[in-house]
């Protein structure tokens, strides 16, 4: 009876570690479906900036053009914006592919980057990055 329980626990722990690794591995990995809008997000000088309570995120995109957030005349699935969010803070929508976040508090922060259309509807490509601020 105990052996079966231990085996299930070992499997659960393995899956938990594996799935956590998948989430953390989103940095630098293309997100989204092939031949659809995709993004790849990375930190610039992650550790150095974290020491300064900051984070710089750089994003590359494929299969989409980025337009200014105040331009509503663009339509179609080939144009959009990037949405950045730190933890549960308000979302920043922009065409900027490099954004700096300052005054981060000590602790772990999650920065989410998403591709959205000009009506701010998600296009499926999303990356979650984590940074530990000392």
> What confidence tens digit (pLDDT) does each residue in 71-114 have?
656 666 689 999 999 999 999 999 999 999 999 999 999 999 99
Domain of 104, in residue numbers: 2-133
| Model pTM score | 0.78
| Statement: residue 18 has pLDDT above 50 | no
> What confidence tens digit (pLDDT) does each residue in 30-81 have?
999 999 999 999 999 999 999 999 999 999 999 999 988 666 566 666 899 9
Count of domains forming the chain: 1
Please tell me the distance from the alpha carbon of residue 127 to that of residue 106, in angstroms, as a whole number: 22
Closest to 30 in 3D by CA, of 95, 101, 113: 113
CATH number at residue 70: 2.60.40.10
């Amino acid at each position: 009876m105990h052996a079966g329980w231990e085996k299930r626990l070992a499997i659960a722990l393995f899956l938990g570690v594996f799935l956590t690794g998948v989430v953390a591995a989103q940095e630098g990995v293309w997100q989204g479906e092939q031949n659809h809008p995709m993004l790849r997000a990375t930190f610039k000088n992650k550790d150095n900036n974290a020491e300064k309570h900051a984070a710089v995120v750089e994003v590359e995109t494929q299969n989409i053009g980025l337009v200014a957030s105040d331009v509503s005349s663009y339509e179609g699935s080939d144009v959009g914006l990037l949405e950045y969010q730190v933890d549960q803070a308000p979302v920043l929508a922009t065409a900027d592919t490099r954004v700096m976040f300052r005054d981060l508090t000590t602790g772990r922060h999650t920065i989410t980057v998403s591709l959205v259309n000009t009506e701010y509807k998600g296009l499926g490509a999303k990356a979650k990055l984590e940074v530990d601020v000392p």
